[in-house]
Amino acid sequence: MYGHSLRDFVVGVIVLDPERLAAHAKQAGKDPSDESLVEELRPIVDADLKALATKNKFNSLEKPKQLILLTEPFSIENGILTPTMKIKRNIATEMFKA
């Protein structure tokens, strides 16, 4: 989850499982690198998150109002994490602008 002091809601940042993304692509008859797959999965992920939040009795401030779906995990190699495995704030701020 990503929270910003200028917003009154949190944003869910979700890295999609590559194996499940590939399985969904195969089922849809598309290439796994097709960006439209991510948008097809958005309502599914959103519904799952809402169900989990309801089941666990999250209040409205704890429920994400927007989702950012990523296909590449956070890593040191792609420059998102520091060597001590902390997220780089300047990178995150740019990535998570939605």
What's the maximum distance between 2 C-alpha atoms anywhere in the chain? 42
Q: Which residues contact 9 (CB under 8 A, 6 or more apart)?
A: 61, 64, 65, 66
- Of 6 and 64, more confident: 64
In the chain, % of residues over pLDDT 70: 91
Residue-level pLDDT at 73: 87
**Domain extent listing, the chain:** 2-95
When pLDDT is cut at 50, 70 and 90, the band that residue 96 belongs to is low
pLDDT at 48: 92
pLDDT tens for each residue of 33-61:
778 888 888 999 999 999 999 999 998 88
Output the pLDDT for position 84.
94
Encoding tokens for residue 7?
């917003």
**Tens digit of each residue's pLDDT (9 = 90 or more) over 15-25:** 888 888 888 88
